[in-house]
Amino acid sequence: MQQFITLTVAGAVQGAVYAAFALALVLIWRSTRIVNFAQGAMAAATTFIALALIEAGQSYWVALLVALVSGFVLGAVIERVVIRPVEGGPELNAVIVTLGLFIAIQALVAIVFGNDERAFPPPFDRVGFTVGETNIALTPNNLYTIGGVLVTLVLLIVLFRYTPVGLAMRASAFGQEVARLLGVRVSRMLTLGWALAAVVGAVAGVLIAGEGSSVTPNFMDALIVYGFVAAVLGGLDSPIGAVVGGVALGLLLGYVRGYLGDEVVNLAALVILIVVLLVRPGGLFSSAQARRA
Amino acid sequence: MAEPVAHGSTAVSAAGADGTAVLEVRDLTTHYGPVRALDGVSLRADKGRITAVLGANGAGKTTLLRTVSGLIRPARGQVLLDGTEITRAPVESMVGRGMSHVPEGRGVIAELTVDENLRVGALFRGKTPKEEFDRVYELFPRLAERRNQPAHNLSGGERQMLVIGRALLARPRILLLDEPSLGLAPRIVAQIFGLVRQLVDTEGLSVLLVEQNARSALSVADVGVVLNLGRVVVTDSARTLMADEDLRHAYLGF
Protein backbone atom coordinates (compact mmCIF):
# COMPACT_ATOMS: atom_id res chain seq x y z
CA MET A 1 0.00 0.00 0.00
CA GLN A 2 2.79 2.35 0.95
CA GLN A 3 4.42 1.65 -2.42
CA PHE A 4 1.13 2.19 -4.27
CA ILE A 5 0.72 5.62 -2.69
CA THR A 6 4.30 6.55 -3.45
CA LEU A 7 3.91 5.47 -7.08
CA THR A 8 0.60 7.29 -7.40
CA VAL A 9 2.10 10.53 -6.14
CA ALA A 10 5.14 10.25 -8.38
CA GLY A 11 2.96 9.29 -11.33
CA ALA A 12 0.60 12.20 -10.79
CA VAL A 13 3.47 14.69 -10.68
CA GLN A 14 5.04 13.26 -13.82
CA GLY A 15 1.60 13.20 -15.38
CA ALA A 16 1.05 16.88 -14.61
CA VAL A 17 4.20 17.74 -16.53
CA TYR A 18 3.23 15.48 -19.44
CA ALA A 19 -0.13 17.24 -19.35
CA ALA A 20 1.43 20.68 -19.63
CA PHE A 21 3.53 19.52 -22.50
CA ALA A 22 0.61 17.82 -24.21
CA LEU A 23 -1.35 21.05 -23.76
CA ALA A 24 1.31 22.94 -25.70
CA LEU A 25 1.16 20.40 -28.53
CA VAL A 26 -2.65 20.58 -28.59
CA LEU A 27 -2.64 24.37 -28.81
CA ILE A 28 -0.49 24.26 -31.91
CA TRP A 29 -2.33 21.32 -33.41
CA ARG A 30 -5.65 23.09 -32.95
CA SER A 31 -4.56 26.31 -34.56
CA THR A 32 -2.30 25.13 -37.37
CA ARG A 33 -2.71 21.32 -37.68
CA ILE A 34 1.00 20.87 -37.11
CA VAL A 35 2.68 18.61 -34.57
CA ASN A 36 5.47 20.77 -33.26
CA PHE A 37 8.51 18.55 -32.79
CA ALA A 38 10.54 21.61 -31.77
CA GLN A 39 8.41 22.04 -28.65
CA GLY A 40 10.96 20.31 -26.42
CA ALA A 41 13.90 22.30 -27.71
CA MET A 42 11.93 25.54 -27.35
CA ALA A 43 11.07 24.66 -23.77
CA ALA A 44 14.71 23.80 -23.08
CA ALA A 45 15.72 27.23 -24.38
CA THR A 46 13.31 29.06 -22.10
CA THR A 47 14.30 26.87 -19.13
CA PHE A 48 17.94 27.80 -19.71
CA ILE A 49 17.00 31.47 -19.80
CA ALA A 50 15.29 31.06 -16.42
CA LEU A 51 18.26 29.12 -15.05
CA ALA A 52 20.72 31.76 -16.22
CA LEU A 53 18.72 34.41 -14.38
CA ILE A 54 18.58 32.36 -11.19
CA GLU A 55 22.31 31.72 -11.36
CA ALA A 56 22.79 35.47 -11.81
CA GLY A 57 21.02 36.00 -8.51
CA GLN A 58 17.46 36.74 -9.60
CA SER A 59 14.56 35.18 -7.74
CA TYR A 60 12.81 32.09 -9.05
CA TRP A 61 9.66 34.08 -9.76
CA VAL A 62 11.41 36.71 -11.85
CA ALA A 63 13.12 33.91 -13.75
CA LEU A 64 9.79 32.15 -14.30
CA LEU A 65 8.17 35.32 -15.60
CA VAL A 66 11.03 36.00 -18.00
CA ALA A 67 10.89 32.39 -19.21
CA LEU A 68 7.17 32.75 -19.95
CA VAL A 69 7.62 36.05 -21.77
CA SER A 70 10.54 34.74 -23.80
CA GLY A 71 8.46 31.66 -24.64
CA PHE A 72 5.70 33.93 -25.93
CA VAL A 73 8.13 35.87 -28.11
CA LEU A 74 9.91 32.74 -29.30
CA GLY A 75 6.63 31.06 -30.29
CA ALA A 76 5.35 34.13 -32.11
CA VAL A 77 8.59 34.70 -34.00
CA ILE A 78 8.89 31.05 -35.02
CA GLU A 79 5.33 31.02 -36.34
CA ARG A 80 5.78 34.23 -38.30
CA VAL A 81 9.19 33.51 -39.75
CA VAL A 82 9.52 29.75 -40.10
CA ILE A 83 6.04 28.20 -40.00
CA ARG A 84 4.04 30.77 -41.97
CA PRO A 85 5.64 29.85 -45.32
CA VAL A 86 4.71 26.16 -44.95
CA GLU A 87 1.20 26.66 -43.56
CA GLY A 88 -1.45 25.33 -45.87
CA GLY A 89 1.14 23.35 -47.82
CA PRO A 90 1.69 19.58 -47.68
CA GLU A 91 1.66 18.38 -44.07
CA LEU A 92 5.02 16.70 -44.39
CA ASN A 93 6.70 20.05 -45.12
CA ALA A 94 5.62 21.43 -41.78
CA VAL A 95 6.74 18.27 -39.98
CA ILE A 96 10.18 18.51 -41.54
CA VAL A 97 10.41 22.19 -40.72
CA THR A 98 9.63 21.58 -37.05
CA LEU A 99 12.18 18.72 -36.98
CA GLY A 100 14.75 21.09 -38.45
CA LEU A 101 13.83 23.71 -35.88
CA PHE A 102 14.24 21.13 -33.15
CA ILE A 103 17.83 20.42 -34.22
CA ALA A 104 18.68 24.08 -34.80
CA ILE A 105 17.32 25.34 -31.47
CA GLN A 106 18.93 22.53 -29.54
CA ALA A 107 22.30 23.28 -31.15
CA LEU A 108 21.88 26.98 -30.46
CA VAL A 109 21.06 26.32 -26.81
CA ALA A 110 24.17 24.13 -26.51
CA ILE A 111 26.32 26.85 -28.05
CA VAL A 112 24.96 29.57 -25.77
CA PHE A 113 24.55 27.67 -22.48
CA GLY A 114 26.90 24.70 -22.90
CA ASN A 115 26.27 20.98 -22.80
CA ASP A 116 26.88 20.31 -19.11
CA GLU A 117 24.19 18.94 -16.83
CA ARG A 118 22.98 21.75 -14.61
CA ALA A 119 20.80 21.63 -11.53
CA PHE A 120 17.71 23.83 -11.33
CA PRO A 121 16.89 25.09 -7.83
CA PRO A 122 13.27 24.25 -6.91
CA PRO A 123 11.03 27.02 -5.57
CA PHE A 124 9.76 24.77 -2.76
CA ASP A 125 11.08 21.95 -0.63
CA ARG A 126 11.74 18.65 -2.31
CA VAL A 127 11.55 16.74 0.98
CA GLY A 128 8.30 14.87 1.55
CA PHE A 129 5.70 15.91 4.10
CA THR A 130 5.60 13.94 7.30
CA VAL A 131 2.31 12.67 8.64
CA GLY A 132 2.83 11.57 12.25
CA GLU A 133 5.85 9.31 12.09
CA THR A 134 5.74 8.36 8.41
CA ASN A 135 7.31 10.36 5.69
CA ILE A 136 5.11 10.39 2.60
CA ALA A 137 6.39 10.77 -0.91
CA LEU A 138 4.48 13.98 -1.64
CA THR A 139 6.65 17.10 -1.44
CA PRO A 140 5.67 20.77 -1.33
CA ASN A 141 7.29 21.20 -4.71
CA ASN A 142 5.11 18.37 -6.09
CA LEU A 143 2.05 20.31 -5.03
CA TYR A 144 3.45 23.41 -6.70
CA THR A 145 4.05 21.49 -9.95
CA ILE A 146 0.55 20.01 -10.02
CA GLY A 147 -0.95 23.34 -9.02
CA GLY A 148 1.00 25.16 -11.72
CA VAL A 149 -0.35 22.86 -14.41
CA LEU A 150 -3.90 23.18 -13.10
CA VAL A 151 -3.68 26.97 -13.01
CA THR A 152 -2.36 26.94 -16.58
CA LEU A 153 -5.26 24.75 -17.66
CA VAL A 154 -7.85 26.92 -15.94
CA LEU A 155 -6.40 30.10 -17.44
CA LEU A 156 -6.51 28.55 -20.90
CA ILE A 157 -10.10 27.42 -20.42
CA VAL A 158 -11.10 30.91 -19.28
CA LEU A 159 -9.30 32.43 -22.25
CA PHE A 160 -10.91 30.12 -24.79
CA ARG A 161 -14.41 30.03 -23.30
CA TYR A 162 -14.99 33.51 -21.98
CA THR A 163 -12.98 36.04 -23.95
CA PRO A 164 -13.46 37.46 -27.45
CA VAL A 165 -9.84 36.64 -28.30
CA GLY A 166 -10.41 33.04 -27.25
CA LEU A 167 -13.55 32.86 -29.39
CA ALA A 168 -11.64 34.28 -32.35
CA MET A 169 -8.89 31.71 -31.80
CA ARG A 170 -11.36 28.84 -31.70
CA ALA A 171 -13.17 30.13 -34.78
CA SER A 172 -9.84 30.40 -36.59
CA ALA A 173 -8.86 26.89 -35.54
CA PHE A 174 -12.09 25.20 -36.57
CA GLY A 175 -13.17 27.25 -39.55
CA GLN A 176 -10.29 29.20 -40.96
CA GLU A 177 -11.95 30.41 -44.14
CA VAL A 178 -15.28 31.18 -42.49
CA ALA A 179 -13.50 33.10 -39.74
CA ARG A 180 -11.73 35.23 -42.34
CA LEU A 181 -15.03 35.92 -44.09
CA LEU A 182 -16.41 37.03 -40.73
CA GLY A 183 -13.58 39.50 -40.31
CA VAL A 184 -11.39 37.56 -37.88
CA ARG A 185 -7.69 38.15 -38.47
CA VAL A 186 -6.88 34.48 -38.65
CA SER A 187 -3.15 34.85 -39.25
CA ARG A 188 -2.82 36.88 -36.07
CA MET A 189 -4.72 34.19 -34.16
CA LEU A 190 -2.36 31.50 -35.48
CA THR A 191 0.62 33.49 -34.28
CA LEU A 192 -1.04 33.88 -30.91
CA GLY A 193 -1.70 30.13 -30.81
CA TRP A 194 1.98 29.37 -31.28
CA ALA A 195 2.98 32.02 -28.77
CA LEU A 196 0.62 30.62 -26.12
CA ALA A 197 1.81 27.09 -26.83
CA ALA A 198 5.40 28.15 -26.29
CA VAL A 199 4.39 29.78 -23.00
CA VAL A 200 2.77 26.55 -21.85
CA GLY A 201 5.87 24.66 -23.02
CA ALA A 202 7.98 27.07 -20.97
CA VAL A 203 5.81 26.31 -17.92
CA ALA A 204 6.38 22.59 -18.46
CA GLY A 205 10.14 23.06 -18.82
CA VAL A 206 10.55 25.13 -15.68
CA LEU A 207 8.30 22.82 -13.66
CA ILE A 208 10.05 19.62 -14.67
CA ALA A 209 13.46 21.21 -14.11
CA GLY A 210 12.31 22.22 -10.63
CA GLU A 211 11.32 18.60 -9.97
CA GLY A 212 14.94 17.61 -10.23
CA SER A 213 15.62 16.85 -13.88
CA SER A 214 19.12 17.95 -14.68
CA VAL A 215 18.94 20.66 -17.30
CA THR A 216 20.73 20.04 -20.60
CA PRO A 217 19.89 21.20 -24.13
CA ASN A 218 18.12 17.89 -24.76
CA PHE A 219 16.54 17.34 -21.35
CA MET A 220 13.04 17.78 -22.79
CA ASP A 221 13.49 15.19 -25.55
CA ALA A 222 11.94 12.29 -23.65
CA LEU A 223 9.11 14.55 -22.64
CA ILE A 224 8.08 15.27 -26.18
CA VAL A 225 7.45 11.55 -26.68
CA TYR A 226 5.37 11.29 -23.52
CA GLY A 227 3.66 14.60 -24.18
CA PHE A 228 2.74 13.40 -27.65
CA VAL A 229 1.36 10.10 -26.31
CA ALA A 230 -0.63 12.06 -23.72
CA ALA A 231 -2.00 14.40 -26.37
CA VAL A 232 -3.03 11.50 -28.61
CA LEU A 233 -4.56 9.76 -25.60
CA GLY A 234 -6.71 12.82 -24.95
CA GLY A 235 -7.46 13.48 -28.61
CA LEU A 236 -5.17 16.03 -30.21
CA ASP A 237 -7.93 18.64 -30.33
CA SER A 238 -8.93 18.80 -26.70
CA PRO A 239 -7.08 20.79 -24.01
CA ILE A 240 -8.94 19.00 -21.23
CA GLY A 241 -8.23 15.72 -22.96
CA ALA A 242 -4.53 16.60 -23.01
CA VAL A 243 -4.50 17.11 -19.25
CA VAL A 244 -6.49 13.97 -18.49
CA GLY A 245 -4.33 12.06 -20.98
CA GLY A 246 -1.17 13.43 -19.37
CA VAL A 247 -2.16 12.48 -15.84
CA ALA A 248 -3.42 9.06 -16.97
CA LEU A 249 -0.16 8.41 -18.79
CA GLY A 250 1.89 9.59 -15.81
CA LEU A 251 0.03 7.26 -13.46
CA LEU A 252 0.19 4.27 -15.84
CA LEU A 253 3.89 4.72 -16.47
CA GLY A 254 4.47 5.26 -12.75
CA TYR A 255 2.89 1.90 -11.92
CA VAL A 256 4.79 0.23 -14.76
CA ARG A 257 8.03 1.68 -13.42
CA GLY A 258 7.27 0.58 -9.86
CA TYR A 259 5.85 -2.88 -10.44
CA LEU A 260 7.51 -3.99 -13.68
CA GLY A 261 10.76 -2.06 -13.74
CA ASP A 262 12.30 1.07 -15.19
CA GLU A 263 13.42 -0.58 -18.39
CA VAL A 264 9.93 -1.27 -19.74
CA VAL A 265 8.59 2.29 -19.27
CA ASN A 266 9.32 3.43 -22.81
CA LEU A 267 7.94 0.21 -24.20
CA ALA A 268 4.77 0.72 -22.16
CA ALA A 269 4.36 4.25 -23.54
CA LEU A 270 4.63 2.86 -27.04
CA VAL A 271 2.11 0.11 -26.30
CA ILE A 272 -0.35 2.69 -24.93
CA LEU A 273 0.10 4.81 -28.05
CA ILE A 274 -0.56 1.86 -30.35
CA VAL A 275 -3.57 0.66 -28.37
CA VAL A 276 -5.13 4.14 -28.39
CA LEU A 277 -4.55 4.53 -32.10
CA LEU A 278 -6.09 1.12 -32.77
CA VAL A 279 -9.05 1.31 -30.43
CA ARG A 280 -9.88 5.01 -30.30
CA PRO A 281 -7.87 6.79 -32.98
CA GLY A 282 -9.63 10.04 -32.15
CA GLY A 283 -8.52 9.88 -28.53
CA LEU A 284 -10.66 9.79 -25.42
CA PHE A 285 -12.01 13.32 -25.87
CA SER A 286 -11.99 13.64 -29.60
CA SER A 287 -14.16 16.08 -31.45
CA ALA A 288 -13.10 14.46 -34.71
CA GLN A 289 -16.63 13.25 -35.28
CA ALA A 290 -17.96 16.74 -34.88
CA ARG A 291 -15.42 18.05 -37.34
CA ARG A 292 -16.63 15.71 -40.05
CA ALA A 293 -20.31 16.31 -39.44
CA MET B 1 -32.91 31.88 -77.52
CA ALA B 2 -32.62 35.22 -75.80
CA GLU B 3 -30.20 37.80 -77.04
CA PRO B 4 -27.67 38.77 -74.39
CA VAL B 5 -28.92 41.91 -72.72
CA ALA B 6 -26.45 44.09 -70.91
CA HIS B 7 -27.51 45.05 -67.39
CA GLY B 8 -31.17 44.68 -68.01
CA SER B 9 -33.02 46.92 -65.60
CA THR B 10 -36.39 45.88 -64.33
CA ALA B 11 -39.50 47.50 -63.09
CA VAL B 12 -39.61 45.35 -59.97
CA SER B 13 -39.88 47.59 -56.97
CA ALA B 14 -38.58 46.99 -53.48
CA ALA B 15 -38.23 49.11 -50.36
CA GLY B 16 -34.77 50.51 -50.94
CA ALA B 17 -34.47 49.91 -54.65
CA ASP B 18 -33.45 53.04 -56.50
CA GLY B 19 -31.37 51.56 -59.28
CA THR B 20 -27.96 52.30 -57.77
CA ALA B 21 -25.41 49.52 -57.83
CA VAL B 22 -24.19 48.38 -54.42
CA LEU B 23 -21.82 45.89 -55.96
CA GLU B 24 -20.36 46.13 -59.40
CA VAL B 25 -18.15 43.58 -61.10
CA ARG B 26 -16.26 44.62 -64.23
CA ASP B 27 -14.56 42.26 -66.63
CA LEU B 28 -13.61 39.83 -63.87
CA THR B 29 -11.31 37.01 -64.97
CA THR B 30 -10.06 34.27 -62.66
CA HIS B 31 -7.81 31.35 -63.46
CA TYR B 32 -7.45 28.02 -61.70
CA GLY B 33 -4.09 27.04 -63.10
CA PRO B 34 -4.64 26.91 -66.87
CA VAL B 35 -8.43 26.80 -66.49
CA ARG B 36 -10.26 30.06 -66.93
CA ALA B 37 -13.02 29.77 -64.32
CA LEU B 38 -14.30 33.31 -64.90
CA ASP B 39 -13.88 34.93 -68.26
CA GLY B 40 -14.59 38.63 -68.36
CA VAL B 41 -17.66 38.63 -66.12
CA SER B 42 -19.46 41.94 -65.64
CA LEU B 43 -22.57 42.33 -63.53
CA ARG B 44 -24.12 44.52 -60.90
CA ALA B 45 -26.21 43.99 -57.80
CA ASP B 46 -28.56 46.90 -57.19
CA LYS B 47 -29.65 48.30 -53.90
CA GLY B 48 -32.76 46.67 -52.43
CA ARG B 49 -32.76 43.91 -55.01
CA ILE B 50 -32.04 40.23 -55.17
CA THR B 51 -29.73 39.47 -58.04
CA ALA B 52 -29.51 35.78 -58.80
CA VAL B 53 -26.52 34.29 -60.59
CA LEU B 54 -27.61 31.03 -62.23
CA GLY B 55 -25.97 28.30 -64.19
CA ALA B 56 -24.93 24.68 -64.17
CA ASN B 57 -22.29 23.11 -61.99
CA GLY B 58 -18.92 24.47 -63.08
CA ALA B 59 -20.35 27.61 -64.64
CA GLY B 60 -18.20 29.70 -62.29
CA LYS B 61 -20.83 30.82 -59.79
CA THR B 62 -18.93 29.96 -56.64
CA THR B 63 -15.69 31.23 -58.14
CA LEU B 64 -17.44 34.51 -58.80
CA LEU B 65 -18.42 34.97 -55.16
CA ARG B 66 -15.02 33.84 -53.91
CA THR B 67 -13.29 36.31 -56.19
CA VAL B 68 -15.62 39.12 -55.19
CA SER B 69 -14.93 38.61 -51.49
CA GLY B 70 -11.19 38.29 -52.02
CA LEU B 71 -10.70 34.58 -51.28
CA ILE B 72 -9.37 34.20 -54.82
CA ARG B 73 -7.28 36.80 -56.61
CA PRO B 74 -8.56 37.69 -60.07
CA ALA B 75 -6.21 37.79 -63.03
CA ARG B 76 -8.02 40.82 -64.39
CA GLY B 77 -10.99 43.04 -63.68
CA GLN B 78 -12.47 45.10 -60.88
CA VAL B 79 -14.86 44.72 -57.98
CA LEU B 80 -16.54 47.88 -56.71
CA LEU B 81 -18.55 48.21 -53.52
CA ASP B 82 -20.60 51.41 -53.47
CA GLY B 83 -18.31 52.76 -56.15
CA THR B 84 -15.12 52.08 -54.20
CA GLU B 85 -12.72 49.59 -55.66
CA ILE B 86 -12.15 46.60 -53.35
CA THR B 87 -10.59 44.21 -55.85
CA ARG B 88 -7.46 43.46 -53.85
CA ALA B 89 -8.67 44.31 -50.36
CA PRO B 90 -8.02 41.62 -47.73
CA VAL B 91 -10.83 39.12 -47.11
CA GLU B 92 -10.91 40.06 -43.43
CA SER B 93 -11.82 43.66 -44.28
CA MET B 94 -14.93 42.82 -46.30
CA VAL B 95 -17.46 42.56 -43.46
CA GLY B 96 -16.25 45.91 -42.16
CA ARG B 97 -16.93 47.38 -45.60
CA GLY B 98 -20.51 46.12 -45.53
CA MET B 99 -20.26 42.89 -47.51
CA SER B 100 -21.11 39.55 -45.89
CA HIS B 101 -20.35 36.34 -47.75
CA VAL B 102 -22.11 33.13 -46.72
CA PRO B 103 -19.95 30.51 -48.41
CA GLU B 104 -20.86 27.29 -50.16
CA GLY B 105 -21.77 24.56 -47.68
CA ARG B 106 -23.06 27.28 -45.35
CA GLY B 107 -19.95 27.79 -43.25
CA VAL B 108 -21.29 26.88 -39.85
CA ILE B 109 -18.42 26.38 -37.42
CA ALA B 110 -19.59 22.99 -36.20
CA GLU B 111 -17.48 22.85 -33.02
CA LEU B 112 -18.88 26.13 -31.69
CA THR B 113 -22.33 26.51 -30.19
CA VAL B 114 -25.09 28.36 -32.00
CA ASP B 115 -24.56 31.36 -29.75
CA GLU B 116 -20.79 31.32 -30.27
CA ASN B 117 -21.27 31.16 -34.03
CA LEU B 118 -23.37 34.30 -33.84
CA ARG B 119 -20.85 36.03 -31.60
CA VAL B 120 -18.02 35.27 -34.03
CA GLY B 121 -20.09 37.08 -36.66
CA ALA B 122 -20.17 40.18 -34.48
CA LEU B 123 -16.56 40.02 -33.24
CA PHE B 124 -15.19 42.52 -35.71
CA ARG B 125 -17.60 45.18 -34.44
CA GLY B 126 -16.32 45.03 -30.90
CA LYS B 127 -19.24 45.56 -28.60
CA THR B 128 -22.56 44.51 -30.13
CA PRO B 129 -25.84 45.37 -28.39
CA LYS B 130 -27.65 42.37 -26.97
CA GLU B 131 -30.82 43.47 -28.80
CA GLU B 132 -29.23 42.59 -32.11
CA PHE B 133 -28.65 39.01 -30.98
CA ASP B 134 -32.20 38.91 -29.64
CA ARG B 135 -33.46 40.05 -33.01
CA VAL B 136 -31.75 37.14 -34.77
CA TYR B 137 -33.30 34.75 -32.26
CA GLU B 138 -36.70 36.37 -32.88
CA LEU B 139 -36.21 35.95 -36.61
CA PHE B 140 -35.27 32.30 -36.09
CA PRO B 141 -36.95 30.90 -32.98
CA ARG B 142 -35.45 27.48 -33.81
CA LEU B 143 -32.02 28.90 -33.12
CA ALA B 144 -33.11 30.30 -29.77
CA GLU B 145 -34.12 26.81 -28.67
CA ARG B 146 -30.70 25.50 -29.55
CA ARG B 147 -28.51 28.46 -28.68
CA ASN B 148 -26.20 26.52 -26.35
CA GLN B 149 -25.91 23.40 -28.46
CA PRO B 150 -22.92 22.75 -30.69
CA ALA B 151 -23.78 23.74 -34.24
CA HIS B 152 -23.07 20.24 -35.56
CA ASN B 153 -26.36 19.17 -33.97
CA LEU B 154 -28.31 21.45 -36.30
CA SER B 155 -30.27 20.29 -39.34
CA GLY B 156 -29.43 21.69 -42.75
CA GLY B 157 -32.24 24.24 -42.59
CA GLU B 158 -31.23 25.37 -39.12
CA ARG B 159 -27.65 25.74 -40.28
CA GLN B 160 -28.79 27.95 -43.11
CA MET B 161 -30.77 30.06 -40.65
CA LEU B 162 -27.71 30.29 -38.42
CA VAL B 163 -25.38 31.52 -41.13
CA ILE B 164 -27.90 34.05 -42.42
CA GLY B 165 -28.50 35.29 -38.89
CA ARG B 166 -24.77 35.46 -38.32
CA ALA B 167 -24.29 37.43 -41.52
CA LEU B 168 -27.02 39.86 -40.49
CA LEU B 169 -25.20 40.61 -37.23
CA ALA B 170 -22.51 42.22 -39.35
CA ARG B 171 -25.20 44.67 -40.56
CA PRO B 172 -24.24 44.21 -44.21
CA ARG B 173 -25.41 46.35 -47.07
CA ILE B 174 -24.95 43.42 -49.40
CA LEU B 175 -25.24 39.74 -48.66
CA LEU B 176 -23.55 37.15 -50.87
CA LEU B 177 -25.31 33.80 -50.62
CA ASP B 178 -23.75 30.70 -52.15
CA GLU B 179 -26.27 27.92 -52.90
CA PRO B 180 -28.45 28.33 -49.82
CA SER B 181 -30.92 25.74 -51.16
CA LEU B 182 -28.36 22.96 -51.44
CA GLY B 183 -29.57 19.79 -49.74
CA LEU B 184 -32.68 21.39 -48.24
CA ALA B 185 -36.27 20.22 -48.59
CA PRO B 186 -38.35 22.41 -50.95
CA ARG B 187 -40.47 23.61 -48.04
CA ILE B 188 -37.38 24.85 -46.16
CA VAL B 189 -35.97 26.45 -49.32
CA ALA B 190 -39.22 28.37 -49.78
CA GLN B 191 -39.12 29.45 -46.15
CA ILE B 192 -35.53 30.70 -46.37
CA PHE B 193 -36.01 32.46 -49.68
CA GLY B 194 -39.17 34.05 -48.31
CA LEU B 195 -37.23 35.38 -45.37
CA VAL B 196 -34.46 36.77 -47.58
CA ARG B 197 -37.12 38.48 -49.70
CA GLN B 198 -38.67 39.95 -46.58
CA LEU B 199 -35.32 41.34 -45.38
CA VAL B 200 -34.71 42.88 -48.77
CA ASP B 201 -38.17 44.45 -48.95
CA THR B 202 -38.33 45.78 -45.41
CA GLU B 203 -34.74 46.71 -44.70
CA GLY B 204 -33.32 47.61 -48.07
CA LEU B 205 -30.77 44.82 -47.93
CA SER B 206 -29.19 43.87 -51.24
CA VAL B 207 -28.47 40.25 -52.11
CA LEU B 208 -26.27 38.56 -54.65
CA LEU B 209 -27.56 35.01 -54.73
CA VAL B 210 -25.77 32.16 -56.45
CA GLU B 211 -28.00 29.17 -57.19
CA GLN B 212 -28.13 25.99 -59.18
CA ASN B 213 -31.78 25.68 -58.27
CA ALA B 214 -32.78 28.24 -60.88
CA ARG B 215 -36.53 27.82 -60.56
CA SER B 216 -36.60 28.67 -56.85
CA ALA B 217 -34.03 31.42 -57.27
CA LEU B 218 -35.90 33.14 -60.09
CA SER B 219 -39.14 32.96 -58.15
CA VAL B 220 -37.62 35.15 -55.44
CA ALA B 221 -35.08 37.24 -57.38
CA ASP B 222 -35.54 40.54 -59.18
CA VAL B 223 -32.76 40.11 -61.67
CA GLY B 224 -31.14 36.99 -63.07
CA VAL B 225 -27.66 36.62 -64.52
CA VAL B 226 -27.02 33.39 -66.40
CA LEU B 227 -23.47 32.14 -66.34
CA ASN B 228 -22.07 29.45 -68.62
CA LEU B 229 -18.46 28.27 -68.64
CA GLY B 230 -17.31 31.40 -66.88
CA ARG B 231 -19.09 33.88 -69.14
CA VAL B 232 -22.27 35.86 -68.72
CA VAL B 233 -24.81 34.56 -71.25
CA VAL B 234 -27.68 36.85 -70.41
CA THR B 235 -28.78 39.37 -67.82
CA ASP B 236 -32.45 40.21 -67.53
CA SER B 237 -35.35 40.53 -65.15
CA ALA B 238 -36.21 37.33 -63.35
CA ARG B 239 -39.67 37.39 -64.91
CA THR B 240 -38.32 37.59 -68.43
CA LEU B 241 -35.85 34.79 -67.83
CA MET B 242 -38.57 32.65 -66.31
CA ALA B 243 -40.68 33.15 -69.45
CA ASP B 244 -37.89 32.23 -71.84
CA GLU B 245 -38.38 28.54 -72.36
CA ASP B 246 -35.42 28.04 -74.73
CA LEU B 247 -33.03 29.71 -72.32
CA ARG B 248 -34.36 27.70 -69.41
CA HIS B 249 -33.86 24.45 -71.28
CA ALA B 250 -30.43 25.42 -72.53
CA TYR B 251 -28.87 26.74 -69.34
CA LEU B 252 -31.11 26.40 -66.33
CA GLY B 253 -32.20 22.80 -66.54
CA PHE B 254 -35.95 23.25 -66.13
pLDDT tens-digit map of A53-106: 999 999 999 999 999 999 999 999 999 999 999 887 888 899 899 999 999 999
A137 within a domain of the structure (yes/no): yes
Please report the pLDDT score of residue A127 as a whole number.
Answer: 82
Instruction: Over range A18-33, report the average pLDDT.
Output: 89
What's this model's pTM, rounded to 2 decimal places? Answer: 0.85
Judge whether B170 is closer than 8 Å to chain A, CB to CB: yes
A54 within a domain of the structure (yes/no): yes
Instruction: Over range A123-148, report the average pLDDT.
Output: 83
For residues B180 and B65, give the distance between their C-alpha atoms in angstroms, rounded to a whole number. 13
A252 within a domain of the structure (yes/no): no
Selected residues 32-61 of chain B with any CB under 8 Å from a CB in chain A:
none
A62 within a domain of the structure (yes/no): yes
**ipTM of model:** 0.89
Judge whether A178 is closer than 8 Å to chain B, CB to CB: yes
pLDDT at A293 over 60: no
Cα atoms in the Cβ-side hemisphere of radius 13 Å centred on A273: 14
Residues of chain A with pLDDT > 90, as a percent, come to 60
Backbone angles phi, psi at B50, to 5 degrees: -105, 115
A10 within a domain of the structure (yes/no): no
Nearest to B123 among A181, A183, A291 (CB): A183
Selected residues 108-167 of chain B with any CB under 8 Å from a CB in chain A:
108-112, 116, 119-121, 123-124, 150, 152, 166
Please report the pLDDT score of residue B16 as a whole number.
Answer: 56
* Residue ranges making up the domain that contains A158: 19-233
Judge whether B91 is closer than 8 Å to chain A, CB to CB: yes
Residues (pLDDT < 50) of chain B are 1-14
Distances (CA, A) of A146 to A125, A143, A150, A255: 14, 5, 6, 18
pLDDT at A129 over 70: yes
Which residue in chain A has the smallest CA separation from B127? A164
pLDDT at A212 over 90: no
A262 within a domain of the structure (yes/no): no
Please report the pLDDT score of residue B7 as a whole number.
Answer: 43
| Contacting residues of A for B100, CB less than 8 Å apart | 181
pLDDT at A253 over 70: yes
A260 within a domain of the structure (yes/no): no
Residues in chain B: 254
Tally of domains in chain A = 1
A94 within a domain of the structure (yes/no): yes
For residues B81 and B34, give the distance between their C-alpha atoms in angstroms, rounded to a whole number. 29
Which residue in chain A has the smallest CA separation from B154? A293
